[in-house]
Amino acid sequence: MQVRDVMTSNPACCTPDTPLPEIAQMMADHDCGCIPVVEDQGSKKPIGMITDRDIALRGVAQGGDVSTMTAGDCMSTPVVTVTPEDSVDDCCRKMEDNQVRRVAVVDNQGGCCGMVAQADVALNTGGQASEVVRGVSQPTDSANNVQGQ
């Protein structure tokens, strides 16, 4: 099975200067908890990810004025990426190795063309999902490790 078989195509994306309230509305409109942050809407090259958890921990909990903060203020980096042609096994391995719950799918030009989340793996692969959850959820030594993705 390939990534193209389980990914969510054409995800909503934002840029580093997108205000957090707009990102939160995008999450509500698209029923998702993560928005890829892209260099610009033309190239769609992913440079970060912003999750509802990033907003809560890096914005609200830090006492920031989330009404004036942007994606660039809270996003997680680096972005873990896969291609539509990668196997789901390789995708799961990347998620586990990087301890992330979501990865961006990039096309031949490096533009974001999809997303794969743990839920996509769970809905499409059955037993493999528990291994991914276990691998992603292992404690890490670094408090600054990519969190929330």
Q: Can you give the pLDDT at residue 130?
A: 53
Query: What's 7's DSSP letter?
Result: P
103 close to 91: Cβ distance less than 8 angstroms: yes
pLDDT reading at 116 higher than 50? yes
146 inside domain? no
Angle between helices 88-98 and 128-136 (to 10 degrees): 20
**Residue 26, domain extent:** 3-136
**Residues of the chain with pLDDT > 70: what percent?**
84
Q: Please state the rounded mean pLDDT for residues 74-99.
A: 95
Q: Closest Cα to residue 55, out of 30, 29, 82, 18?
A: 18
CATH of the domain at 76: 3.10.580.10
Omega within 30 of 0 (cis) for the link into 78: yes
148 inside domain? no
pLDDT reading at 149 higher than 70? no
Q: Can you give the pLDDT at residue 146?
A: 43
Q: Please state the rounded mean pLDDT for residues 15-32.
A: 96
Q: Can you give the pLDDT at residue 125?
A: 76
Q: How many domains does the chain have?
A: 1
Our CA dihedral for 101, 120, 114, 145, rounded to 10 degrees, sits at: 0
142 inside domain? no
145 inside domain? no
141 inside domain? no
149 inside domain? no
Please write the tens of the pLDDT for every residue from 49-62.
999 999 999 988 88
Q: Can you give the pLDDT at residue 145?
A: 42
Upper half-sphere CA count for residue 90 (Cβ side, 13 Å): 13
34 close to 119: Cβ distance less than 8 angstroms: no
